[in-house]
Chains A and B, each alone.
Chain A
Amino acid sequence: MAIIEQEPSIAALPSGAARTAAKPLGAFSRPRNPVGLKNWLTTVDHKKIGIMYGTASLFFLLWGGIPALLLRLQLARPNQGLLSGAAYNQIFTMHGTVMIFLVVMPMGAAFANYLLPLQVGARDVAFPRINAFSFWVFLAGGIMLNTSWFLGGGANGGWFNYAPNNGITYNPGVGIDFWNVGLLIAGIGSLTGAVNLITTVLNMRAPGMSWMRMPIFTWMTLVTQFLLLFAIPVLTVAQLLLLFDRRFDGNFFNVDQGSDPLLWQHLFWIFGHPEVYLMILPAFGIVSEVIPVFARKPIFGYPFMVFSGIAIGFMGWGVWAHHMFVSGIGPLSVTAFAVATMFIAVPTGVKVLNWLATLWGGKLILNTAMLFSIGLVTQFTLGGLSGVSHAVASADTQQTDTYYIVAHFHYVLFGGALFGFYSGLYFWFPKAFGYKLNEKIGKWNFWSMVVGFNLTFGPMHILGLQGMPRRMQTYDASQGFNTWNMVATIGSFILGVATLSILYNALVSYRAWRRAGRPDVGPDPWDARSLEWSIQSPTPEHNFDVSPTVTDLDDFWHHKYQEDDNGVLRRIATGKEVAQPGNGEGVHLPAPSYWPLVLALSFPLIGYGLIFSLWLCIPGVVLLITALYGWSLEPADDLDDDHGHGDHHERELVGANG
């Protein structure tokens, strides 16, 4: 860390010889703690950043889940007064916002960060410091958003915050401002993360890893990052317009001055629909990795899986107005978007059938990871079917703003994305931490989640078709919604406990592992297919001892199995035999840095300034500029460090990338 990087004396460190005179003012040494809190705060290691993304996401899952249970309690019986209208509106808004932006998106980022460099055979992402920055700025935005609870109340306009209800006239509190600024800040992290991961895939694939040899998870993550790259700016534009409206008397969404509130709807959903796909595609990628491993077969129709993912990535941009079928956009627009929506169901349906075809005739190993993957396939399909019924515009006009929609998107986001993520957690846990999660608790985890999930969201289909509108604080006993609401509430508590049981599982499994003397789980505990299993568990800090050379799709698998002369597949080696030993002599890794964290901290300071007093922006901007200068003057490599390998390198000037 250096405003001005101190020049190390030629014959100095790390041999221990004479260090030059006192450091000049403004020069600091870089962080070098190999363990501990400071290490986590300054790390640029994609694996640690991935773990931090995952931890933050699980924390926010709890944080966004408690409000969901409060909502269900309020709706358990008619005419309840547990939550006031004001509290109810804030809670459902923040529940949606937290779950989408701070749970599902970062969980996708967690898997992408941890696995993408491993699956393409790289030592880290393209820009390690930017990677750290992406995480910290996401966390800063997420925490800032949630401080609204203590500083005047949460946002209360729904996660979509339609204009003009989001304007200062109708919503004078600071809740919407926190929603606006917090998500603007978190969005910066999504953008930098997207650029980083795209560059990693484009430039850092191992020798021989051509496009059609990339694992499907890598493909789906790549598509996701492109969606992020183009979708987040649309939301940012809308939010900046709203910011100007609310803080600086702008008139972008001010109906009194002749503006059209439909502008917000269009902007929000042009962002919002690609958002839907960028939330589900990482989970599709995970399932496409898990199912072949435990069906003992390669994925059925690899190119079709890849191209359907890309197709979703493109077509996701042409369906946004199906959120607006009843807003008066006219029959021509409605039909065009209905057709487009039907179209996008096809690549998604293709994926489902390809998973089924992969399962077909396989020797299925029904462990927890596999069960969660099959859970995604079944429950996402249910959600997909209700989704297709939205594409039929004449049916959708009945469903708009009813609980049928709530049922639908929970089936695709919880039954889809979250089940996929849980599958991934069980699958890659030994790779990240060196021990497997307990299977018995895992199966309880899975089955209780399936039961709780379907009890909670299944009845909402019926409620919706009975006409129960969304976002209603309460309902009357005479409306006939009583029974199913009670069922849903009971289900939601089962679901809450079930969802959390993975944390209990991690604790129990860790203790058992420690009692057993921390046995080595081995590089390849599942007899899997992709490159991340060809290195030791937990992943060594430097990932690969030598860059792997790839000659096949599922290259690692073909090192373990080959056909004999009769065309019968035979095991020729175990994963342990062909895995890299993990000694990694002389590997240079990017050095940790304070600057990503410092830079990220400047954003919420500016954010609070925008909401409360512009004077507060001044220290924020000063911190921002300082951090940018410090960052850009800091060499990518720490010249004083021997990287723990004792191979003191003479002051080789490495290009300051990252």
Chain B
Amino acid sequence: MISTDSDPTNPGEDGRTHHLDVYERRWMIASVALLVVFAASVAVAGFGLGFQVPGHESRVDPNTVADSPPWNNPGLRDLGNGEYEVYVIGRQYLFEPNEIRVPVGATVTFYVTSVDVQHGFKLQDTNINMQIVPGHISKLTRTFEKAGEFPYICNEYCGLGHASMAGSLIVEAQGG
């Protein structure tokens, strides 16, 4: 079953060349095949299935962004048809606004930026997790099908008050 050059105690007949064991060769082929499968699955997920990552919307000047519309009035905008936009500013160590209320079924697009250091915007129990970089606007969209309270927290370390930087998104039942 095992050829002579696959004797496990001998690396090669004369020791000068390294013969490939038949199992070794098969294993190498299998691992290359694995590589192809892995890469293909990631590519399909990334390009084919519409995977949404935090998008870089545009750049702003962090010195003045809080003074000009729409950021001078952060919060919710009702666009009609159940669509909403919400503008959130992160600063050491709070979110403006720190409470957002939307009805069930709302499709909400989050625009988030920072006016000082880097922060995070993680909406717990959802797939929304964005790093907030001063000078950049990060954007993500999600539809909220169920009522409930989703805390949003800063999860990019931002300094002394990092642990207490949080807010809350409340999805209200229809008519509630």
Chain A residues in the interface with B (C-beta under 8 A): 85-86, 89, 156-158, 162-165, 170-171, 212, 255-256, 258, 260-262, 296-298, 300-304, 324-331, 334-335, 338-339, 342-343, 345-346, 349-350, 353-354, 357, 361-362, 391-394, 397-398, 400-402, 467, 469-475, 551-554, 558, 561, 563, 567, 569
Contacting A at CB under 8 A, from B125-176, are 125, 127, 129-131, 133-136, 138, 153-163
Distance from B109 Cβ to chain A, minimum over Cβ atoms (Å): 15
Query: Do B54 and A165 have beta carbons less than 8 Å apart?
Result: no
Q: How large is the interface on B (under 10, 10 to 19, 20 to 34, 35 or more residues)?
A: 35 or more
Query: Do A170 and B116 have beta carbons less than 8 Å apart?
Result: yes
Query: Do A346 and B34 have beta carbons less than 8 Å apart?
Result: yes
Distance from B11 Cβ to chain A, minimum over Cβ atoms (Å): 5
Partner of A335, one of B18, B34, B43, B160: B43
Residue of A nearest to B138 (CB): A328
Query: Do A326 and B116 have beta carbons less than 8 Å apart?
Result: no
B72 within 8 A of A: no
Docked pose: A16 CA to B131 CA in angstroms: 74
User: What are 16 A-B contacts with C-beta separation under 8 Å?
Assistant: A86-B160, A165-B158, A170-B117, A255-B134, A256-B63, A261-B118, A262-B136, A301-B21, A326-B130, A335-B43, A335-B46, A339-B42, A342-B39, A349-B34, A401-B157, A470-B157
Partner of A255, one of B8, B27, B46, B62: B62
Query: Do A342 and B38 have beta carbons less than 8 Å apart?
Result: yes
Query: Do B39 and A339 have beta carbons less than 8 Å apart?
Result: yes
Chain A residues closer than 8 Å to B101, beta-carbon distance: none
B52 within 8 A of A: yes
Most buried by A among B47, B54, B55, B120: B54
Distance from B115 Cβ to chain A, minimum over Cβ atoms (Å): 9
Docked pose: A553 CA to B11 CA in angstroms: 8
Distance from B91 Cβ to chain A, minimum over Cβ atoms (Å): 11
Known contacts being A85-B163, A302-B18, is A158 close to B131, with CB within 8 Å?
A: no
Partner of B133, one of A327, A331, A354, A401: A327
Residue of B nearest to A86 (CB): B160
Query: Do B11 and A552 have beta carbons less than 8 Å apart?
Result: yes
Chain A residues closer than 8 Å to B62, beta-carbon distance: 255-256
Query: Do A162 and B42 have beta carbons less than 8 Å apart?
Result: no
Query: Do A327 and B135 have beta carbons less than 8 Å apart?
Result: no
Q: A393-B53, A401-B120 are in contact. List 8 more A-B contacts (CB 8 A).
A: A170-B116, A261-B118, A262-B133, A304-B28, A349-B34, A394-B127, A472-B162, A552-B16
Chain A residues closer than 8 Å to B56, beta-carbon distance: 328-330
Q: What 0/1 pattern do residues 37 to 62 of B give for CB contact below 8 A with A?
A: 01101110111000111111000011
Chain A residues closer than 8 Å to B159, beta-carbon distance: 89, 156, 165, 170-171
Chain B residues in the interface with A (C-beta under 8 A): 4, 7-11, 15-16, 18, 20-21, 23-24, 27-28, 31, 34-35, 38-39, 41-43, 45-47, 51-56, 61-63, 92, 116-118, 120, 122, 124-125, 127, 129-131, 133-136, 138, 153-163
Docked pose: A155 CA to B145 CA in angstroms: 44
Query: Do B15 and A162 have beta carbons less than 8 Å apart?
Result: no
Docked pose: A343 CA to B32 CA in angstroms: 10
Distance from B132 Cβ to chain A, minimum over Cβ atoms (Å): 9
Partner of A158, one of B43, B129, B157: B157
Most buried by B among A324, A335, A475: A335
Query: Do B9 and A569 have beta carbons less than 8 Å apart?
Result: yes
Chain A residues closer than 8 Å to B16, beta-carbon distance: 551-552
Query: Do B156 and A162 have beta carbons less than 8 Å apart?
Result: yes
Query: Do A346 and B31 have beta carbons less than 8 Å apart?
Result: yes
Chain B residues closer than 8 Å to A357, beta-carbon distance: 23-24, 27
Distance from A551 Cβ to chain B, minimum over Cβ atoms (Å): 7
Chain B residues closer than 8 Å to A260, beta-carbon distance: 133, 135-136
Query: Do A301 and B53 have beta carbons less than 8 Å apart?
Result: no
Query: Do B53 and A298 have beta carbons less than 8 Å apart?
Result: no
Known contacts being A89-B159, A255-B135, is A328 close to B8, with CB within 8 Å?
A: no
Docked pose: A11 CA to B155 CA in angstroms: 75
Docked pose: A325 CA to B18 CA in angstroms: 42
Chain A residues closer than 8 Å to B131, beta-carbon distance: 324, 326-328, 400
Chain B residues closer than 8 Å to A473, beta-carbon distance: 162-163
Query: Do A349 and B155 have beta carbons less than 8 Å apart?
Result: no
Chain B residues closer than 8 Å to A392, beta-carbon distance: 42, 45
Known contacts being A255-B134, A561-B9, is A398 close to B129, with CB within 8 Å?
A: yes
Docked pose: A494 CA to B94 CA in angstroms: 38
Residue of A nearest to B137 (CB): A328
Docked pose: A163 CA to B133 CA in angstroms: 9
Partner of B11, one of A162, A398, A554: A554
Query: Do B4 and A331 have beta carbons less than 8 Å apart?
Result: no
Partner of A401, one of B10, B43, B46, B155: B155
Query: Do A330 and B55 have beta carbons less than 8 Å apart?
Result: yes
Residue of B nearest to A167 (CB): B117
Partner of B10, one of A324, A331, A569: A569
Docked pose: A397 CA to B120 CA in angstroms: 12
Partner of A331, one of B7, B42, B55, B122: B55
Query: Do A397 and B129 have beta carbons less than 8 Å apart?
Result: yes
Distance from A353 Cβ to chain B, minimum over Cβ atoms (Å): 7
Chain B residues closer than 8 Å to A156, beta-carbon distance: 159
Residue of A nearest to B115 (CB): A255
Chain A residues closer than 8 Å to B11, beta-carbon distance: 298, 302, 552-554
Chain A residues closer than 8 Å to B53, beta-carbon distance: 325-326, 329-331, 334, 393, 397
Chain B residues closer than 8 Å to A164, beta-carbon distance: 116-118, 134
Residue of A nearest to B121 (CB): A326
Chain B residues closer than 8 Å to A262, beta-carbon distance: 133, 136
Docked pose: A326 CA to B124 CA in angstroms: 15
Residue of B nearest to A563 (CB): B10
Chain B residues closer than 8 Å to A338, beta-carbon distance: 42, 45-46
Chain A residues closer than 8 Å to B35, beta-carbon distance: 343, 346
Query: Do B38 and A343 have beta carbons less than 8 Å apart?
Result: yes
Known contacts being A164-B134, A256-B62, A473-B163, is A334 close to B46, with CB within 8 Å?
A: yes
Chain B residues closer than 8 Å to A393, beta-carbon distance: 42, 45-46, 51, 53
Docked pose: A471 CA to B46 CA in angstroms: 30
Please list the 8 inter-chain residue pairs (A to B) with the smallest Cβ-Cβ separation, ordered nearest first. A335-B46, A552-B15, A328-B56, A401-B155, A165-B117, A469-B155, A327-B131, A342-B38
Distance from A143 Cβ to chain B, minimum over Cβ atoms (Å): 26
Distance from A361 Cβ to chain B, minimum over Cβ atoms (Å): 7
Query: Do A162 and B38 have beta carbons less than 8 Å apart?
Result: no
Residue of B nearest to A92 (CB): B157
Known contacts being A327-B54, A329-B56, is A558 close to B15, with CB within 8 Å?
A: yes
Partner of A349, one of B31, B116, B135: B31
Distance from B36 Cβ to chain A, minimum over Cβ atoms (Å): 10
Docked pose: A569 CA to B156 CA in angstroms: 60
Docked pose: A9 CA to B133 CA in angstroms: 70
Chain A residues closer than 8 Å to B134, beta-carbon distance: 164, 255, 261
Most buried by A among B16, B42, B56, B135: B42
Query: Do A567 and B4 have beta carbons less than 8 Å apart?
Result: yes
Chain A residues closer than 8 Å to B129, beta-carbon distance: 326, 397-398, 400-401
Chain B residues closer than 8 Å to A391, beta-carbon distance: 42
Docked pose: A331 CA to B15 CA in angstroms: 51
Docked pose: A298 CA to B6 CA in angstroms: 11
